[in-house]
Structure 1
């Protein structure tokens, strides 16, 4: 059962696409922006792929996209927290292509 859904970053991806439509092909930062867009799209696809396998998992509670403070002013983020009566499992989702 999913208790907290993930906030999709679609609005940010839409904003980057809008920027690229207006940015000249010759702009020196265009390649950097296109690379960032590709990484963000890959991240969303990775989270959607994991969601497919977790959506009907019986006996577990899922919390997605948790942002929490450590008490000293610093924050951390958890992609998925999978909970059951025996354990907690933190999932950090990465979707990387190529050689690591």
Structure 2
């Protein structure tokens, strides 16, 4: 549960900042004259495209994290099932030995 909270916190803190492609787009828009300055409230076409690319990359990373979490849960469930099966086999062995 802590991992989810930390991941959520990290995602929120990153969401507040411009991503690397968006920042590069700001500079490109400024250099091309599409906006008055890098600090302009307006977004130029390169900044907008960069922001979309950053968002797409974030979505891919989120999907990878979700897949990794699902695989970890699957491994935990398989481990637990194996431990239960081992315990049953030990009990059967004990019964066969007359214990």
TM-score by length of 1: 0.36
By relative contact order (CA 8 Å, sep 6+), the higher-ranking structure is 1
The higher radius of gyration belongs to: 2
**Structure showing the higher helix proportion among its residues:** 2
